Amino acid sequence: MNQYICRNKSIEHYDKNINKQYFTGSSAGMCTLYETLERLAKSDVPVFLTGESGTGKELCATVLHEKGARCDKPFIAVNCAAIPFDIFESQFFGHLKGTFTGATCDTIGYARAADGGTLFLDEISELDLSMQSKLLRFLQTGQVMPVGSTTAHTVNCRIVCATNVNPLEQVSKGLFRSDLYYRLNVVPVKLLPLRERGRDVIEIAENLLKRYSSEEKKKFQHFSANAKKALLDYSWPGNVRELQNVIRRSVIMHDGVMLTLEMLDLEESLEKHLSKCTQDEGEAWPHSVTPLWQVEQKAIENAIRICNGNIQRAASLLEVAPSTLYRKRQAWKFCPDNSIS
């Protein structure tokens, strides 16, 4: 099996059995992450993963599960942002048949489904405050009670959670319970954005080039020197996910043995687009500054329009949770200067 390659000799003792199917990269920051995951996989302690979208938080949760003692038990991943508020409790804790319209059978829920294994709570910062209190009680007691039932069930599972925002800022804003934060934040693990991982971007890009060339039956084998420089200079706001899209698009749209700077088509990236929009607005209104919420609103409404009103698809393109778009659109209704319907 392929192994991680670590060039940082101070931490060469990280787990040689952690496979490269999870991550690619040999920078000092990634080697530290590998060592951290190795240590945490041996424990049942709750882990709080933070990092920008596309940095690999779910991959970390997968490593913690598959390299731990619970690897032969279920790994249940729950996207807290994708579950509507009114059905979250029944989805998470289960329900009895006939409890509500549509409850045609008993359901055990995510928590009991993870019994013995790992429960991964992704985008936990998007969880409604009332649901946060119910989750806290579950974490404190280790028991769940299905909706419509009076019988509690004991659940023994490891908790790993993740968010792409600063959880302490959410606590200070009253959007995240402090007691839940301290219950979950036993071991915080922050994932580095791709722009802070040095030459890892080249290593990842080369692996992606090989993979996508094979999938698309192309002949690409390497990057030109200028292409590599562009990959290193770019800030990658979408992190590895954006890099995957850029390389895949380039492989599909071009042919050859060497992938050049022109083939990368980074001019169409989000960073360049936003920079151009800002420059254009500055030239049009040199003596005024558009409020940030209006800039954000235009971007969101434009994405929704492109997706023909599909909030889920627009949220995916913007790399945010659907609940974030719903919440922001609701808040804009009360902005006196709101000019976008």
The mean pLDDT value of the chain amounts to: 84
pLDDT exceeds 60 at position 95: yes
> What's the CATH class of domain 290-341?
mainly alpha
Q: Shortest CA distance to 20 belongs to which of 68, 59, 48? A: 59
Residues forming CATH 1.10.8.60 domain(s) in the chain: 195-268
18-27, 83-92, 113-122, 219-228: range with lowest mean pLDDT: 18-27
pLDDT tier for residue 3 given thresholds of 50, 70 and 90: very low
The pLDDT of residue 7 is 31
pLDDT tier for residue 121 given thresholds of 50, 70 and 90: very high
Percent of the chain whose pLDDT exceeds 90:
56
Q: How far apart are the first and last CA of the chain?
A: 55
Output 289 or 225, whichever has higher pLDDT: 225
Residues forming CATH 1.10.10 domain(s) in the chain: 290-341
Dist. CA 154–CA 160, nearest whole Å = 18
Residues forming CATH 3.40.50.300 domain(s) in the chain: 43-62+69-192
Provide mean pLDDT across the span 199-219. 95
In the chain, alpha helices (H): 28-41, 57-66, 85-93, 109-113, 129-141, 167-172, 178-184, 200-215, 225-233, 239-253, 261-264, 270-284, 292-306, 311-318, 322-332
pLDDT tier for residue 99 given thresholds of 50, 70 and 90: confident
CATH match of 43-62+69-192 with 3.30.70.260:
no
Listing DSSP states for 87-109 in one string gives HHHHHHH-B-TTSSTT--S-B-H
Provide mean pLDDT across the span 14-22. 50
pLDDT exceeds 90 at position 240: yes
pLDDT exceeds 80 at position 277: no
The pLDDT of residue 133 is 92
> Residue 187 forms beta bridges with which residues?
47
Task: Note the Cα 37 to chain centre separation in Å.
Answer: 17
The pLDDT of residue 19 is 41
> What's the CATH class of domain 195-268?
mainly alpha
Provide mean pLDDT across the span 144-165. 92
pLDDT exceeds 50 at position 260: yes
Dist. CA 219–CA 241, nearest whole Å = 23
> Residue 19 forms beta bridges with which residues?
3
Dist. CA 32–CA 55, nearest whole Å = 15
Percent of the chain whose pLDDT exceeds 70:
84
